[in-house]
Homo-oligomer: A and B are copies of this chain.
């Protein structure tokens, strides 16, 4: 299949869409991004790269980072991760807080904020150390020392993130954080502020398409079973409250962020990342979603 040709075809189609979504406005640094940015990048299990648009430009990966901190936590604790975090979709965002109370501080899954805070807590043994470990892991799997924290974005989140402070303290009140909330939040704000390009991102995620082994950095990141399971969690919980819609329209495990990025996996074949800053009401990239939908339609590839 000629992926480059398909990407260019999608690029043309998507560029003509009139609804580009709306920029995330609660983080000043994100609200200033050029809304016309658009990129797709593919990395295949046999090591080929394809891309269109602004695929070498760094953007803020935001919640996509939750996928990689989960990976780190599984490396350390394997199945034990699930003693402190569930693996079920959360239903509406609306229910998240009440669910947390109802289920005694066990967040429904690692991709809602409360769950990601618990995951971050698991990998935090000293704030500086955890920040270093996370960014070094991202550099290794993308094989790019240029991947970095955007400290302005991290500060921005710290200054506006009252809801995340609330969540961290609520989880702590149920004894489901080992560290103090402020420390976990510091690591959390930084991981969300990682900046990397679509090309970096598709390379970084390739282990998820390849039974856990990254040919790109020549290392087994997760075991085959662990990998299959991370993909399962992504498919059932990775797209905020549009899980079913993404499975229905795109049909791949994927994880999105409010920076406008989405990464998705075709097991055995490739990882694909898209970036377009405008969001739909669910918080997913409007054009990114459209691009992925066209991709699985044109290639007739999906897990279903």
Contacts and interface: CB of A to CB of B under 8 A. Distances in A.
Interface of A: 86-92, 94-95, 97-99, 101-102, 108-109, 162-163, 165-170, 172-173, 181, 224-225, 227-229, 231-233, 235-237, 241-245, 247-248, 251, 253, 267, 297, 300, 302-304
B162 A172 contact: yes
B232 A304 contact: yes
A179 to B, nearest CB: 12
Nearest to A232: B247
Copies of this chain held together in the complex: 4
Contacts of A165: 165-166, 169, 181
A241 B86 CA distance: 12
Contact of A236 (B168, B173, B224, B236): B236
Contact of A169 (B169, B231, B235): B169
A228 B250 CA distance: 10
A236 B89 contact: yes
Contact of A87 (B162, B173, B231, B244): B244
Contacts of A243: 88-89, 236
Contacts of A235: 235-236, 247, 304
Contacts of A167: 166
A297 B232 CA distance: 14
A244 B91 contact: no
A60 to B, nearest CB: 20
23 contacts: A87-B245, A88-B91, A89-B236, A89-B243, A89-B244, A97-B170, A109-B244, A162-B172, A163-B173, A166-B167, A166-B169, A166-B173, A225-B297, A227-B304, A228-B302, A229-B251, A229-B304, A231-B304, A232-B248, A235-B247, A236-B244, A237-B244, A253-B304
